Structure 1
């Protein structure tokens, strides 16, 4: 009798324990699929490197998410993915569940921002654009151009034209230094690729000369399809020793003194970038050329043109002789 009673007792305890375990499991299954209550439509969550799973759970709660950090910690542990959680900056949106939260943290799906560096921008515009990115850490803001390039591992290199124009994504709180390094490497890669495709008609002797010429093509081209012909004009002039006489280089050399109105006296005022007073290429690029301008610089159109003038609609008229050019100027610029 006593052994039968003990068996019934243990059976009852086992059943109660099983029911309790199933209840806990059922609650857990339900809980990890329930949306967490956020204090706003989106919540920023920063996980510092080295933060342990319990600290991550607490950081979620500290960010204003209505969740028991102990319960969240045990979910991390029991899931088997606690050690996979990655440091970073995350954005939690309305509807996120504990299950989705863990998946986001384990995959390192950080919240990304984007900044666009525009073709034809100079280095001042690049730095100004990065300075406006509130979620970017501005490690280069207090540095002059020379110190910035030294920090990027290019001491002594002029920064103009060295960054490839593109849209770059970055994690919130990351450094502008990292973004600039990516743009720097991207330009290295694009320039080298273009240089390897140069034609026999290219007048540039080095990749750096090609970059300078590409920056001029970028600034002088109003219509994309004209790039190879614009390049042909400058390549032809370089080959015959004719001054490039391009206004954008003069404007670049004037720097902050340029007020939007280019005068004849400006064309006659010598600077290292004045291609009216100095022969050959200027000492540095004058802007960031895009891929099309890089290729055009080393693949000029098969043309003997030495002159071009804007038609007023973005396109240009190209001429081989000065007389033809003067007639085009009278037609398109003076209305004669």
Structure 2
């Protein structure tokens, strides 16, 4: 598909901290794709649109069924960088048959989106990308998992620097997802919801410093469970000081992926990969959403996606995702494997 011939991609929340970076990432990937920056503050949206280029600015109102855009507005996709408690954005996308991307729902919050899809499964392709940093942990984990003949456990540890919360929408997401419900984990083959002491954990930062954390449940755990036969899967998240800031530098964001199981050569190991972006979480999230948009529209990785319900790991090649993340500044390091004397208990 030719990007020049498409209507603009409507990015709701595109004038926010992460949404603006998402628009810039999409522009870098697709220089000719028209973009519409949508927000409540038109002047702010216009400023971002001018920086992005080949972009317009529109004011949106999520309280209205037409989003305040009028019936003559035309777009090629709807991308949501804020939490829409009204579901008007997904209704709008379905009514117009547009690809839809959501980014802010925990695993316990997707029922409105799923049931909306089930009522109209042929209306539009819907990408549920509410994973940690829009899939920046899940897709690399699936890539690294290819080294294993049998994968027993997956643990993702994410460190968000306390100075890297982002804008008000990101802060609201963090507060809602950490306080509204227990965290979902897969433990020895059984789904569990944990909170307080059961959710507490710790992990090593990329510089070897111990970090206190807690189980967290964006969509990663359920996606990894569906894609692998691992018996135990959890994502732990910490809000604290990143290794770069301890060195006296600016904040960064860190993801550690630990996989345990049997390699194809028969060895039982724990493999750890560390992903770091020196500018924090927003650039990584931006890339993930941009990759989702271009895939939905058929601008990379295949033809335009048919109506359906998808997660990033279903649509995007993990190798492609990891390569793009590295092009946008993510460093990837594999630590020495830890030999395990016995198979991990199921």
TM-score (normalised: structure 2): 0.26
More strand by percentage? 2
Which has the larger Rg?
1
Larger helix share, 1 or 2: 1
